[in-house]
A and B are shown apart, each in its own frame.
Chain A
Amino acid sequence: MNSIEVKKGIYWVGSVDWNVRDFHGYTTSRGSSYNAYLIVDEKIALIDSVKHGFRQDMLAKIAEHVDPSKIDYVISNHTEPDHSGELLAVMQQAPQSQLIASAKGEKGLRQYYPGDYPCRVVKTGDTLNLGRYELSFINTPMLHWPDSMFTYLASEKLLFSMDAFGQHLASNQRFDVDVDFDILMHEAKTYYANIIMHLGSIVAKTLKAASELAIETVCPSHGVIWTKHLPDIISRYQDWCAFKPAGKVLVIYDSMWHSTEMMAEQIVAGATEEGVQAQLIRLPNHDLTNVVTEILDADAVVVGSPTLNNGMMPTVAAFLTYIKGLKPAKKIGFAFGSHGWSGGGAAQVGQEMEATGIEIVREPIVCQYRPDQAVLDQCLSAGKELAQHAKSC
């Protein structure tokens, strides 16, 4: 694949990672891309780089337009190694080049990549003149690392947004209009849910600040560039950071001898009788990445585990640990599960659920060995209650 022109003298010189399926634990079902951007002006600037291992691919794309040793500025919008992995390699080829980063960015980059390279620290409002083009910088701390910043090119109404508005989506196409809209939005949602869900207050603040800028094109550091669908993704981000619910009940569980599963099925049946969307999700069969995407806009999340060695199953514990850090808001739920003798699994699930921020609306529903009709009826009516709540939101 060759480089692609975004605007006059501005090129995508990144790499498509078609076959990555495990991105630090995030299941990238459709691969990804690491987007570096080259600006060829009187001065030459590179914005971000690619993951380690894609160096030659990026340098070859740069070389289509300019000798890589002529690069003057290497701008790091974000310290994470999927974007900084080959910054040092570029600076070594271009000894006169200067690194541009936020204060936190410089600190982190010097720890990842020790060296004597010169660095100019920038903050919101600072500018960099390249000749025809003038770039400016906007700190966006914790979107999603302390170092994160946007680079903005006002004259072209162009924002380089690093991970914000990114999608793990491998494609030979570079623009939103050239890929399937529903797949694009689904991957953008999966990315938001797994990477940024817990930072909703920052997202809201950043969207507000960005609304004061004239922006027509957004170049993220993963996936395709937003042009025609920019208003769509902005409005989705507004919904997601407000946890706008979709009228949906999720029943998430694991089971050993099907008792907890029978309970789960009854909860789904109850929600279904009320005409509300409900999903049955048995944990080891689903990637946590995809489960979390569903949680983002769910109204109710109930979690079940049988008792294993006096506690919950490790699959359920792993799930609860993951969502605790992602702080899902505006959801109700409860715990349920079967046990043989002493019990304890469902109670432990309930405690952990509370720590995730899910509002617990009832005591755990439990049963011994097999749910009898009374327990099944309890599950059915609990499912109906969740659905009624979902309808009322």
Chain B
Amino acid sequence: MKYRCLLCGYIYDPEVGDPDNDIDPGTAFEDLPDDWECPECGAGKDEFEPVED
């Protein structure tokens, strides 16, 4: 499932991951490290909400 940053609007797509921050494609949002931050704005995981497709 995709997740949207409530602060800046960035969408985390598990199919893409976050390669700039060493998150491989295929990593589910739930499996991101606790200290992972939004690559756009630095928000923590708790600032994200699931996106209904």
Q: Is the CB of A146 within 8 A of B47?
A: no
Please report the C-alpha to C-alpha distance between residue A67 and residue B29 in the assembled complex, in whole angstroms.
Answer: 53
A199-B7, A202-B7 known; A141-B47 Cβ under 8 A? no
In the complex, whether A234 has a CB less than 8 A from a CB of chain B is no
Q: B residues within 8 A CB of A202?
A: 7, 43
Total chain A interface residues with beta-carbon distance under 8 A: 8
Residue interface mask B33-53, A partner, CB < 8 A = 1: 000000011110001000000
A199 to B8, CA, bound (A): 9
Q: Is A207 an interface residue (CB 8 A)?
A: no
A201 to B43, CA, bound (A): 10
Q: How far is the CB of B49 from chain A (nearest CB, A)?
A: 12
CA distance A242 to B8 in the complex (A): 20
The interface centre, meaning the residue of A142, A201, A202 with most chain B CB atoms within 10 A of its CB, is A142
Query: Are B7 and A139 touching (Cβ within 8 A)?
Result: no
Distance of A141 Cα from B41 Cα, bound (Å): 6
- Count, chain B residues at interface, CB 8 A: 7
Nearest CB in chain A: distance from B50 CB, A: 17
In Å, the complex CA distance between A146 and B40 comes to 7
Q: Are B42 and A139 in contact (CB under 8 A)?
A: yes
A90-134 CB contact bits vs B (8 Å, 1 = yes)?
A: 000000000000001000000000000000000000000000000
Task: Tally A-B pairs: CB < 8 A.
Answer: 19
Chain B nearest CB from A235 CB (Å) reads 24
Give residues 1-53 of B contacting A (CB, 8 Å). Answer: 7-8, 40-43, 47
Which residues in A have their C-beta under 8 angstroms from that of B41? 104, 141-142, 146
A201-B8 contact given A139-B42, A141-B41, A146-B40, CB 8 Å threshold: no
**B38 CB → nearest A CB, Å:** 8
CB distance from A163 to the nearest CB of B (A): 15
Q: How far is the CB of A182 from chain B (nearest CB, A)?
A: 32
**Cα separation A141 to B8 with both chains bound (whole Å):** 10
The smallest C-beta distance from B14 to any residue of chain A, in angstroms, reads 22
CB distance from A26 to the nearest CB of B (A): 20
Measured between alpha carbons, how far is A142 from B5 in the docked complex, in Å?
11
Mark contacts of A142-183 with chain B using CB atoms, 8 A cut-off: 1 yes-contact digit, 0 otherwise: 100010000000000000000000000000000000000000
Residue of A nearest to B7 (CB): A142
* Chain B neighbourhood of A199, CB < 8 A: 7
Find chain B residues with CB under 8 A from A146 CB. Answer: 8, 40-42
CA distance A142 to B37 in the complex (A): 13
| Residues of A close to B7: CB separation below 8 A | 142, 199, 201-202
- Are B47 and A201 closer than 8 Å at their CB atoms? yes
Chain A residues with CB under 8 A of B43: 141-142, 202
Chain A residues near B8 (CB, 8 Å)? 142, 146
Q: Which residues of B contact A201 (CB under 8 A)?
A: 7, 47
Looking at the assembled complex, report how far the CB atom of B11 sits from the nearest CB atom of chain A, in whole angstroms.
15
List the A residue with the shortest CB-CB distance to B46.
A201
Q: Specify the chain A residue showing the minimal Cβ separation from B37.
A: A141
Identify the closest chain A residue to B10 (Cβ).
Answer: A146
CA distance A104 to B43 in the complex (A): 13
Of residues 184 to 238 in A, which have CB atoms within 8 Å of B's CB atoms? 199, 201-202
Least Cβ distance of A47 to chain B in Å? 21
Residues of B within 8 A of A (CB): 7-8, 40-43, 47
The 19 listed contacts between A and B (C-beta, < 8 Å) are: A104-B41, A139-B42, A141-B41, A141-B42, A141-B43, A142-B7, A142-B8, A142-B41, A142-B42, A142-B43, A146-B8, A146-B40, A146-B41, A146-B42, A199-B7, A201-B7, A201-B47, A202-B7, A202-B43
Per CB-CB distance, the 8 closest pairs between chain A and chain B, nearest first, are A141-B42, A146-B41, A142-B41, A142-B7, A141-B41, A146-B40, A142-B8, A146-B8
* Besides the known contacts A142-B41, A142-B43, A146-B42, 16 further A-B residue pairs in the complex with CB atoms under 8 A apart: A104-B41, A139-B42, A141-B41, A141-B42, A141-B43, A142-B7, A142-B8, A142-B42, A146-B8, A146-B40, A146-B41, A199-B7, A201-B7, A201-B47, A202-B7, A202-B43
